[in-house]
Amino acid sequence: MKQERPPIVVIMGHVDHGKTTLLDYILKTNVAGKEAGGITQSIGAYEITHGDKKITFIDTPGHEAFSKMRERGAKVADLAILVVAADDSVKPQTKNALKYIQDEKLPYIVAINKIDKPGANIDAVANDLMQLGVFLEGKGGDVSWHAISAKSGEGIGELLDLILLSSELEDIHCVGKDVASGVVISVKMDPKRGVVASVIIKEGTLFQGSVIATHSASGKVRMLEDFMGKAVKELIPSAPAVIIGFEKAPQIGEIFCAHKDDKALREALEEFEKTIPQVARKADASIAKEKHLPVFLKADEAGSLEVLVEVTHKLMESLPLSIVRTGVGPITESDVKDAESMRAIIVGFRAKTDRAADSMILMKKISMINSPIIYELEKKMTEYAEKFATKEYRTLEILGVFGQSKGKERVIGGRVLLGPIKNHESFEIWHDTRMLGKGRIINLQSGKKDIGEALTDVEVGMLVESEEPIRVGNKLIFE
């Protein structure tokens, strides 16, 4: 049965065009009558009330996170706000954001910001957008827009009205169901609370005490908090939520499912796996030749982080890099622990490193690149990634998992993408660009015969030992 739910909105646009200022102003005047500064922890998503209607805003998590969501069959936002500065008009990142919005087939509204600045020219912005095929209402087209000042607040109330009107026209709804589901939008490790996952609920009601799982992680919802950090017993669709209870960190962009009954949860996950686009399941022989280098980006403030993310995305077009986490503030001991668990290098832009983090980096031999100069970071990341990319990794794709696991032992089948692989070898378990765990071959067979090694393109059966579960679509990487 269809039920109306609040729209989930993402704000996108060029650096310094006012995305953060706009979100800050909206939060300051709308978050349940409480100043935005009263929010003790940023979880990347915020819920406001405008009139008698709710709207959920998510911080732009970067194109990489959105890409992962799409690969896993997820779509987190219902509507986008494309922010363009009236005194600066269309810039490269404006075009990138627009392309992404169009690729995602996201309905969107244009917010022409900084109308109070000297040199503001709304007509010039409209003409530049027209060159990109964006025709604004009242200027020869049908794309909704509004002129605003995120600094003074002029036009923001009307922009929120426009968001609600657009969401009504889009018929944003959920289907009432027993199993709650949604999208993981950020993950961090807390020394006291463990894995802290921020999610957006898309379907069903999420309850404290439910069993929860994604493709790569599982656990039980020990604590459930709203985006203000308040402990709650349940949350409904479109609500941002903080979940404490995952046994290990899920991947950003993954779908989660939750239910009070473990069997119902497993059935829901199995059904969801069938809906993942085939392009996400398809074996990519190039993966056999290279793993992606996980990078943990850290910057002194949000604007710097945006620049660092954009630079990294440009490098990702030609280099095997993968952004696994981003953050604002100094590089801490907790960051180093997370980087170690994800086998990531830390890249800091104007980010200080505290004393405990420095000690752990030396002790654990964690790779870190840190500089106040963005071009120097770009050069160092390029050099590091090019060196990393020259190494070839022997790889096997998992095609089948058979029978019930006996403790750590599992019976699996797969195809060698790049060989040879040898009996009794150790391996890493990878999904997409993330390592899930390690294991060892106990017995290797081909055609029901025991063999010592298997070459490229050979299909094999194996008895393996691993702490982590192994699923179809995972890859085993042999050093």
Assigned fold of 394-478: Elongation Factor Tu (Ef-tu); domain 3 (2.40.30)
Please give the pLDDT value at position 198: 87
Alpha helices in 317-351 (DSSP H): 333-342
Which CATH number applies to 285-389?
3.40.50.10050
**Residue whose tokens read 């980006």:** 297
Structural contact between residues 219 and 268, judged by C-beta atoms closer than 8 angstroms: no
Cα–Cα dist 124/365, whole Å: 52
The two structure tokens encoding residue 266: 């497993």
Name the percent of the chain in helix, strand, coil, to the closest 5. Answer: 30, 35, 35
DSSP state of 233: S
Cα–Cα dist 297/378, whole Å: 12
The answer for residues whose C-beta is within 8 angstroms of residue 92's C-beta and 6 or more apart is 14
The two structure tokens encoding residue 223: 């604590």
> What are the φ/ψ torsions at residue 157 (nearest 5 degrees)?
-60, -45
Structural contact between residues 357 and 333, judged by C-beta atoms closer than 8 angstroms: yes
What is the full DSSP assignment across 374-388?
A: HHHHHHHHHHHHHHH
Tens-place pLDDT, residues 47-105: 999 989 999 998 754 444 455 554 444 578 899 999 999 999 999 888 888 888 888 88
Do β-strands 321-328 and 475-478 pair in parallel, antiparallel, or remain unpaired?
unpaired
**Residue whose tokens read 């290990």:** 248
The answer for residues whose C-beta is within 8 angstroms of residue 136's C-beta and 6 or more apart is 110, 126, 129, 130, 143, 145
Q: Which CATH class is domain 176-279?
A: mainly beta
Q: Where in the chain is the domain with CATH 3.40.50.300?
A: 2-174
Find, among 75, 71, 73, the residue nearest to 58 by Cα: 75
Superfamily, domain 2-174: P-loop containing nucleotide triphosphate hydrolases (3.40.50.300)
What pTM does this model have? 0.60
> What are the φ/ψ torsions at residue 332 (nearest 5 degrees)?
-110, 170
Is residue 279 helix, strand or coil? helix
Q: Where in the chain is the domain with CATH 3.40.50.10050?
A: 285-389
Please report the beta strands in 218-367, taking only residues with DSSP state E, as ranges in sequence order: 218-225, 234-235, 240-246, 255-259, 293-299, 321-328, 345-349
Tens of pLDDT along the chain (479 residues) come to: 678 899 999 888 887 888 888 988 998 765 433 433 333 334 578 899 998 999 999 875 444 445 555 444 457 889 999 999 999 999 988 888 888 888 888 899 999 999 999 999 999 999 999 999 999 999 888 999 999 999 999 999 999 999 999 999 988 888 766 788 888 887 777 777 888 888 999 989 999 999 998 877 888 999 999 988 899 999 999 999 999 999 887 877 788 989 888 777 777 766 665 554 433 333 333 333 346 788 999 988 776 887 888 888 888 877 888 888 888 889 999 889 888 877 789 999 989 999 999 999 888 888 899 999 988 899 999 988 887 766 677 899 999 988 776 788 999 999 998 889 999 999 988 876 567 788 999 999 998 899 999 998 899 999 999 988 898 888 898 87
Structural contact between residues 173 and 2, judged by C-beta atoms closer than 8 angstroms: yes
Tens-place pLDDT, residues 371-395: 999 888 999 999 888 877 666 778 9
**Torsion 280-428-266-187 (CA) sign:** negative
**Torsion 192-193-197-200 (CA) sign:** negative
Element (H, E) at 229: none
Structural contact between residues 243 and 197, judged by C-beta atoms closer than 8 angstroms: yes
Cα–Cα dist 232/36, whole Å: 20
Please report the beta strands in 149-299, taking only residues with DSSP state E, as ranges in sequence order: 173-175, 180-190, 194-203, 206-207, 211-213, 218-225, 234-235, 240-246, 255-259, 293-299
Q: Where in the chain is the domain with CATH 2.40.30.10?
A: 176-279, 394-478
The two structure tokens encoding residue 30: 């709308």
Length reported for the chain: 479
Cα–Cα dist 80/437, whole Å: 37
Q: Spell out the long-range contacts of 302-308 with Cβ–Cβ below 8 A and sequence spacing 24 or more.
A: 302/20, 302/328, 303/15, 303/16, 303/20, 304/349, 304/350, 305/349, 306/15, 307/15, 307/349, 307/374, 308/347, 308/349, 308/374, 308/377
DSSP state of 470: -
Cα–Cα dist 67/325, whole Å: 14
